[in-house]
Structures are given as C-alpha cells and as structure tokens.
A = this chain, B = another copy of it.
Amino acid sequence: MSVNLKELSESLGLSQTTVSRGLNNYSDVSEATRKRIKDAAKRLNYRPNARAKGLATGKSRTIGHVIPSNTQHEMVNPIFGDFIAGASSVYARHGYNMLVSRVAQGSETEIYNDLISSGAVDGIVIQGPTEKDQRIEQLSSMGTPFAVHGRSSAITKPYPWVDVNNQRAFERATQLLISLGHRKIALLNGLEHLDFAVRRRNGFLKALGAQGIEADPDMLFSEEMTESYGYLRTKELLDRKDLPTAIVTSSLITALGVRRAIEDSGRRMGKDISVVTHDDMLSYLPNGGAEPVFTATRSAVSEAGERLAEMLIAEINGDEDQPSEVLLEAELVIGRSTGASET
C-alpha cells in the first residue's frame, strides 16, 4: 500500500540519509538524484510517517483548538464552525493539522498541559477568553506558542491576539440608533463573563453616555446567544408599558428571535422597533445583498480564524516581524431593520 523510508531507499540503491535529504530539498543532493528520489517516492506512494518525523524533529505540525463549551447548557458556539473553517484552510496551506479537544469547563488547565507536554501540538488557539483569562497566563508561562481569538482586558502583559473592535462596533451601532432619534434602547448582549461581551456593552454605554442618555438597567441583558433568548427577552420588553424603540443585539441568531417577537406582537421591524445586530457572517446565515435584512456591525469570523492561524504559524516558525496583535474593524451596514424613531 505504501512504503517507508527504508524500503524506498533500498529500492533506489541509496542511503536513507540521501533519500531523506533529497525529499526535504537539501542542497547536498544532486538535482539528478533528487528527481530520481521524488519520482520513486510518488510512484511507490511514499508517505513519511508523521509520528516518526515528529519524534525526530520535535515538531508535530499540529495546532490545538479547544472547543469552548458552556457545560451549563452544553452549548456549542455557532461561530465555531466558521471560525474553524477559516483557520483550517490556512493550516492546510502550510501543512499543519488541527487537533480539536473538548473538555469540561474547569479542567482546561489539565488539557493544555497535556497537549503541550505530550508534544501533541506545536501551538494552541484560545477561544472565548474571559475578562481575566487564566489560560493566557498559563500558556505564557509555559512558553508555548499560542494566540487568542479575542482579548482579555485584565491581562496587561502582551500576548498574540486577533479581535474585532467590539467596543467601537457597538458604539457606532448605538450612535446610529441615537441619530435616528432613539432614546430607549435595549441591549441583548452575550454572556458578560466573556470579554467580547464586556467590550460591546462598554461601547453601547459609551455612545449613550456621550449623548447624556442614561441606560436603563432593566433593558440590559446578558445571556447565551440563542434564538429563543432574542425572542423571549424581546417579547417581554414589548409587553412593558415603557418599551424600547430600538434593540441592539450581539448575534444574528439572537436577532432572528428578536425579529420573531417583534412580528408576533404585530409590530414591524425597522418601523415600530429598530434593530441592530452584530453579524459574524456565518456562511449559513447570510445577511447581505443590496439591502440586508438587518442593519449590522459586520465582521467575518472566518477571516478572524484565518488571521489567527497565520499569526500562530508565524509565531511557531519564529517570524519576528509578523504582527502579533490584529484589530479588525467591523463595518456598519445599513439594512431594513432600522428607521427613525416615531416618538
């Protein structure tokens, strides 16, 4: 089926050394024999054994991802798939593999230690950092290459990350609503132990504060970003005597629930109630076209995955001149879900 180096070299009448160096493009093997070697390798379907290669080189050419799973609801973040897909295509291009683990919340320390000490991975991607994420400090101190999708506000030492400018995005989104005359604006945020949610909230509050508008604490929510979250909270909001005229939400999935509740109540989104959502540009939830359904702060999570992968690989290879902090700006696209406040 497939041969190993020994067999390959024997069939060529060459030493394993020469064959190995030939395949790895060392200069001390002549072009003629290199060609012979590569031809034979292809013909005999030679695939170097990854484990043996790894043992010899000390590298695994594998990046570890740990699935951020909220054990409370067994939730899988819907952005996971697109993020992974983005990262994965970069890995493939560079000849890296991706190792995915899932672990109960709390025993993360254990698994990072495992993955690294056992040499299973050359680097690690951290997703869903909290405000003061211990994993970042842990990996820093271990000296392992890693990169974070998002940031951890309370950590001052520099570390490599790729993030969306969440604060600015939500500030702009809120500014837009204010400029349309909205004053009572609700926020359906993600879980605020996660750093990105805190930043979004800060942006939201900053925009309100700048106009001297006081945020109503009863209109600020922080939950897992499901569709039903959007629905239930909106439904409840709309039942109030003092209801909001606009809603800002953290995910398109939640926004779908918001929309559902608005229409259930007989109101029209974009007329009676305005909605701005963040849009991660998930492949199965397109919100595009000339006039998107939702006005949104838009930033592709797959791009974040790509950038992060590039960054981490550069770090592993010791490329010093690569940037180690990337802040992506979300664009604010106007759709049909926003309109002037009628009050």
The closest CB in chain B to the CB of A119 belongs to B49
A240 surroundings in chain B (CB, below 8 A): none
A73 surroundings in chain B (CB, below 8 A): 283
Q: Is the CB of B228 within 8 A of A286?
A: yes
Q: Is the CB of A85 within 8 A of B60?
A: no
Candidates B2, B49, B84; contact of A67 at CB < 8 Å: B84
Candidates B1, B78, B102, B283; contact of A74 at CB < 8 Å: B283
Q: Is the CB of A100 within 8 A of B84?
A: yes
Q: Is the CB of B48 within 8 A of A118?
A: yes
Candidates B2, B76, B120; contact of A97 at CB < 8 Å: B120
Given the known interface contacts A50-B118, A81-B81, A85-B67, the answer about A284 and B101 at a Cβ–Cβ threshold of 8 Å is: no
Q: Is the CB of A253 within 8 A of B114?
A: no
A256 at the interface (CB under 8 A from B): yes
Q: Is the CB of B99 within 8 A of A98?
A: yes
Q: Secondary structure of the A side of the interface?
A: mixed
Q: Is the CB of B76 within 8 A of A82?
A: yes
Candidates B89, B113, B302; contact of A47 at CB < 8 Å: B113
> Which residue numbers of A lie inside 8 Å of B, CB to CB?
1-2, 45, 47-52, 54-55, 60, 62, 65, 67, 69, 73-78, 80-82, 84-85, 88-89, 91-92, 97-103, 113-114, 117-120, 142, 224-228, 253, 256, 259-260, 263, 282-286, 293, 302
